[in-house]
Amino acid sequence: MEESPYGIQSKKLAIWLFIIADAATFGAILFAYGYLRVANPDWTRPFEFWPTIANGIAMTVALLTSSLTMIGAVQSAQAGWKSASVRWLGVTMALGLVFVLLLLREWSGMIAAGWRLSRNPLGGSVLFGATFFGITGLHLLHVIAGVVAIAVIASGFNRDRLDAGHVETTGLYWHFVNLVQLFVFPLVYLMNVR
């Protein structure tokens, strides 16, 4: 059989292609946000340090730390330490769930304050809610999908039905989802500080 020009398994190449396509999707949605923001001089900048920015910092740190624990899982899997890898995967899922809970807390606070997809309680552009909930919602879906994927992979790896390559492939997706937060936090949170 002819060797792959990239020297990697086909599933790893497939996840890289998905990641590049998904990065273009997030790029497009962030460009749309930038367009709407520039075109609306009455754009609202509602965020205070407490609770929104502090919450955003905690979410970002949780995701970055989960990347580190995912590396622990991949390295343990490659070394053949199954139980250690599954434990690291469990910690990674827990950190992902921390992110989910923090974002849902942020959303519930904003909804209680009157923010909706097409309503701005502060009287500025109504597009703020659409872009904020749209961008963070798309990212939230990716994180939830990642947590579910890690749970499935951890279960399969624990039962010897999946191998270290599957853990590594899931890790690539998880790192990508975390890198998206490195753009969402400054552009959607910090650029909207009052």
Partner 1 sequence: MAEARHSAGMKRYVVVWIGLILIVAIEVLLTYQHLPAGRLLAFLLVLAFIAAALGVMYFMHLRYERASLFWSLIPYLIFALFMMDHVWPDAFRLMHQRLPAP
Binding residues (CB under 8 A) for partner 1: these are: 5-8, 13, 16-17, 20, 23-24, 27-28, 31-32, 34-36, 38-41, 49, 53, 57, 60-61, 64-65, 67-68, 71-72, 75-76, 79, 172, 175-176, 178-179, 182-183, 185-187, 190-191, 193
The distance of closest approach from Cβ of residue 12 to partner 1 in the complex, given in angstroms and rounded to an integer, is 9
DSSP string, 13-29: HHHHHHHHHHHHHHHHH
Contact 11, 165 (CB under 8 A): yes
C-alpha–C-alpha distance, residues 137 and 122, integer Å: 21
Contact 63, 184 (CB under 8 A): no
Measured from the CB atom, the residue of 18 and 111 that comes closer to partner 1 is 18
Measured from the CB atom, the residue of 166 and 175 that comes closer to partner 1 is 175
The distance of closest approach from Cβ of residue 54 to partner 1 in the complex, given in angstroms and rounded to an integer, is 10
The distance of closest approach from Cβ of residue 115 to partner 1 in the complex, given in angstroms and rounded to an integer, is 21
Strand partners, 193: 47
The distance of closest approach from Cβ of residue 121 to partner 1 in the complex, given in angstroms and rounded to an integer, is 20
- DSSP-assigned letter for residue 119: B
The distance of closest approach from Cβ of residue 177 to partner 1 in the complex, given in angstroms and rounded to an integer, is 11
Measured from the CB atom, the residue of 77 and 162 that comes closer to partner 1 is 77
C-alpha–C-alpha distance, residues 52 and 190, integer Å: 10
Measured from the CB atom, the residue of 10 and 112 that comes closer to partner 1 is 10
CA 106 to chain centre: 15
Measured from the CB atom, the residue of 157 and 176 that comes closer to partner 1 is 176
C-alpha–C-alpha distance, residues 135 and 113, integer Å: 19
